[in-house]
Structures are given as C-alpha cells and as structure tokens.
Structure 1
Amino acid sequence: MARHEEGLRWAKLAQALTVSLGEADTVRGTWVLNILGLIYLDKGQLDEAEEVMEQILAIVSEELGADELEMAGPLNNRGNLHYRRDRLEDARACYQRALELFERILGPEHPDVALALGNLARLALDRGDLDGAERLGLRALAIREESNGPESLEASHAQQDLGNIYRARGESAKALELLERAAVGAAKALGAEHPEVGYALLSLGELHLQRGDLDKAARFYSRALGIFQTSRGPDHLDVAPAVVGLGEVALGRNRPNEAVRQFERALELYAANERPRDAAWARFALARARWTRKASQAEARALARAAAEELTALGAAADRAEIDAWLAGK
C-alpha cells in the first residue's frame, strides 16, 4: 500500500519478537528481515536494504546451504537491489541463480518462476536484447495468467513488462493493448492512486510520446507524476521518469525553457537517488533542450559529451551510440 513508515513500525516490532524468541539469526527470523529489506528498498534507503539482504543470505547459506529454496527469494531481492544501483551484471547473476532454484525445486510453471523471468526480461530490455526480453516476457505472462488469472495484479506486472518490450520493438498496437490491460489490472487490485498504477501510466505516456501524440503523453505523464508525488514524496526516484517525460513533451511542443526546467529537476533526482546511468541520459536530454537556443549550443555539446563519457565510465559504452550520433550531426 506504499505506507512505508507504518510498514517499518510493524516490521521492527516483528523483528523484536524474533529476538525475544531467540530466532533473530535463524532462517525463520529471515522472513522478518526480508520484509524489512523490501521496505528499505522501496523507500530508497539502499544502504540499509543492502545490509539486511546480505544478512539474510549469510544466515540461510550457513543454516541450510546455498542450493535450497530459501535462498531463491533473497537472491531475487538482492538482484532488485543491484538493479536499483545500476549493477546490471550482479543483478543478472542473482536473478539467474534464483530462476535456477525456483525451476529445479518448484517446477517450471510455478508463479515464483515468473517472478525471476520478469526480472530477467526487464534486464534484457535494458541491455537492448529485445528478442531475449520477448521470450522471457512471454513465458512470464503465460505463467502468470495461468496461475493467477489474466486480470490479476501479478498478470498486470507481466503485461506491463511485455508491453514495454513491444514498445521498444516499435510494435505499438501490441504494446498499447498490454499496457492498457496492465493499468486496469493494477487499479482494480490496488486502487487508482497506487504507485503500481503510476508505473503503468508512465509506460503509456512513453508509448504515446513514441507515437507522437503529445497530448495523450502529457496526460499520462502528469497523472503518473501526481500519483508518485503523493504516494512516494516529491524527491523519490519514481518521480524522475515522469518529469523526464514531461520534459520531452515540452521539447516536442517547442517549449525549450520548460523542457530545461524538467530535465534539470530529473537530473537532480537521479543524482540524489544513485542512478548514474539515468542521470547521464537526463544530461543528454538537457543538452538537446539547450541546443534549441543558439547562445547555449556550446553548453549543449559539453553536456552531451559529458553524458557519453559517463556511460563509458559505467561500462555502458554501447549505450552512447545515440549521443555520439547526435553530436556528429551538430
């Protein structure tokens, strides 16, 4: 329900009970630690989340060994933390190991298998492996719809993942159908103001921006931004993509000053929330907005070059091709 402070109070009470029962450092006690770590991760308290997740994996490995089912969930969550911190190879290793454990112990059609598949699909999409992402996404969706139902919250997650993959492939009709279903499913399960609905609306904004429908894109981005600011707070990481989207809409409407303000705000949010790769792309967006004014074109080139160098330093040199192409045309 995105009520983090209340969740922390309950989790810490439960943690105190595990201490009083002598179970704080046992596998049974890790169920409480897992909830605590997930709340920290969702809140953006990454150091606290990492400390808890490392503790969980150490306890389970020592008590049961590294090949038991109890390792799979914590590995998946640790992958989410790595992903959140742009450690993509570390995230992939955690997700892959979790998938292997889920499949071997629970079987290939278990819902937890879809959880790991969806994470690997998102990672493949980020890496530009669209064929691999589609294969993983289709399998995750099939499992979710069979086990949870086609209108369930779980299915909506898989629908959104696959919709984003089709959006990246330029298959906008498929993407639109899936993303609309995802938004409806999330709202039905959690209410129209929940962050999960915001994610689906954000994806719809990105799709309509890609299709050139700036009015629809602006409506979806604005709606998502309102949800995130209310539920997460104005400085949460989730706010940044919606701000970027509104900046792109402003740029498309030839409102460069507004676009600059939005991109600068997004850059601040990404920097504050330890997202250097996203910060590099926000810097490039800012460069494109600055370029529209002749007096700031030198600054725009410098910003774009800085973004390209940041991507190279992060081990994402292949991602800079778009920036290099833009610079070559200026």
Structure 2
Amino acid sequence: MDYFEQVDLAYQTLKGPALERRLRELTDRCRAEYGERGALYGSMLNELGSYYRGQGRYEVSERAFREALELLAQSRGTDSPDYATALNNLAGTHRLMGRLKEAEREFAACLTIYRETLGEGDILYAAGLNNLSLVCLDRGELDRAAELQGRAARVLETMPDRRDELAAALCNLGELRRRQGRPEEAERCLLRALELFQRELGVDTPHYHAALNGLGGLCCEVGRYEEACRWFLAAAAAAEKLYGSEHREHRAALEHLRMARRAAEAGV
C-alpha cells in the first residue's frame, strides 16, 4: 500500500487526534524513506497542510504548504504544474486567513503556470479561475468575480466528465449575476444547473438545494411570488432530505416560503 492509499485509509478509519498522529507519522516516515528533498515528501506535506486547513489551524497549514512549495521548487521547478498545485493550496489557506492580496497574487501565478503548461482547456485551469473568482468576491470586486466564474463555466462546458464542477460553477455564476442586477442571466445559469442535477448528477447535493433556493430568491426580487413559492417549496423538500427537518437550511427554506406566500397573497 503506497503512502496516499494509507492517507485515504486513515481518513476512512480515524478521526480527531488519532488521525492527526497518523498523518504526521506517515509524513515523517516518507521523509525518512525518501529524504527531505524528495518530491513525494513534498506531496505528503501538501496532504498535511490540507488536513490542518480543514481543522482551521491555518498557521500550521501555512507552514506545511510553504515547506512543500520549497521542496517542489527544487525538485520539479517553479514552472511545473505540481508547484502550481502547492501554490494553489497555500493561496487557499491565505484566503481563509483573510490575507486576500497574497491569495490573489498566488492564485494568479497558478493560473499563469497552468495556462503555459497544461493549456486553458484543463480542469486545473478552470479550478484556478474559480479560486481567483472567490478571492475577488471576498474583496468586493463583483464584476471581476463574475467574469472569472463565467470563464470557468465556459471551460467546464467543454468537459463531459466534469458536469458536477460545471453545475457548481453555474450556481456560483447565477448568484453573482443576481447580485450584479442581471436577473435574466442569473436565471439561465440556475436553470441550466438544475437541468444538470436532474438529468445527469442526481439531486442529493447541497448545490441542488442552493440552485432551488437561488431561483426562489430571484423570483421574489422580480415580483414573481407564486413562482418563488414553488421553488422554495422544492428547496425545503431538498433541504429536509439532505439535512433533516431540524437543520437551519430546512427552516430557512420554510421561512422563505412563508414570506413568498404572504407577498403573493397580498398581491405585492
């Protein structure tokens, strides 16, 4: 069993401190076997950084990603896709830390490397566009965020085996278009996402619920309250199936439904 298979097994069978100890043990063993300058050790540091980021321990995550980045720069070069992936991971941690200028600079550098090595039709390039879009949104740059998300969706449209990523991108783009005050484009994005979920991907996913909820909110904004009720009713059912009847997402969908019904009955 290789190191990454052992990492997968650890995530499946362990949690809490036991999982952390196992991941550190595997990382240390990899360093002893392949050396501190080995590319595989750099990849294990990436795994460790991702674990700590998921735990909200951002400073530890940053240290692991920086060490991985240094190793991959030496072993693969700073213009390699592997280096770009490590830089992307570091940028993700910086975004969560609120260090948005650093994150934007790093995500932009990743995009350049992916474009020059893999081309603009690669899934990593599309993911890079999405990541940079999220940073722009965090910084309040709505138009740029929408432009980047739209580019990501166009790349993903060319990939028949990436329909799940496309549906998520369309949901994100729909919300951005709504916030831009472009409701017709927002509706087209969300309806296209729903079509993908219903015909190809299945509906047991948070993004399906988000698309339904987004359509309900969009219809409310343009005064189509009866239609909004139908979307919110579907969103409530999806949320209950996905999260349970006591979850905040289900309760929120029911509250949105009540508000839309009141507006429809009042003839607002």
* Fold in common (TM above 0.5): yes
| 2:3 corresponding residue in structure 1 | 72
- Contact 2:49/2:60 (8 A) holds in 1: yes
Distance in 1 (alpha carbons) for counterparts of 2:188 and 2:201: 19
Q: Deviations over 1:127-182 (max 9, x none)?
A: 55544433332332232223323332221101111112222232210111100111
- Contact 1:72/1:101 (8 A) holds in 2: no
| 2:262 corresponding residue in structure 1 | none
| 2:216 corresponding residue in structure 1 | 290
Q: 1:267 to 1:73 in 2, by over 3 A?
A: same
Counterpart of 1:116 (choices 39, 44, 65) is 44
Q: Tell whether 2:173 aligns with 1:241.
A: no
- Contact 1:228/1:234 (8 A) holds in 2: no
Provide structure 2 residue ranges, at least 5 long, that are not aligned to the other structure.
257-268
- Which SS does the other structure have where 2:164 is aligned? coil
- Identity fraction in percent: 21
| 1:280 corresponding residue in structure 2 | 206
> Where in structure 2 are the equivalents of 1:167-316 lying within 5 Å?
167-230=95-158, 232-233=159-160, 236-256=163-183, 258-266=185-193, 269=196, 272-273=200-201, 276=204, 279-292=205-218, 293=220, 294-295=225-226, 296-297=228-229, 299-300=231-232, 303=235, 306-307=238-239, 310-311=242-243
Distance in 1 (alpha carbons) for counterparts of 2:141 and 2:172: 12
Q: 1:261 to 1:226 in 2, by over 3 A?
A: closer
Could you tell me the TM-score, scaled by structure 2's length? 0.71
Q: 1:281 offset after TM fit, Å?
A: 4.1
Could you tell me the TM-score, scaled by structure 1's length? 0.59
Q: 1:312 offset after TM fit, Å?
A: 6.5
Distance in 1 (alpha carbons) for counterparts of 2:39 and 2:120: 25
- Contact 1:206/1:245 (8 A) holds in 2: no
- Which SS does the other structure have where 1:238 is aligned? helix
Counterpart of 2:82 (choices 146, 154, 158) is 154
- The root-mean-square deviation of aligned C-alpha atoms, in Å, is 3.9
- Contact 2:143/2:180 (8 A) holds in 1: no
Q: Deviations over 1:32-68 (max 9, x none)?
A: xxxxxxxxxxxxxxxxxxxxxxxxx4xxxxxxxxxxx
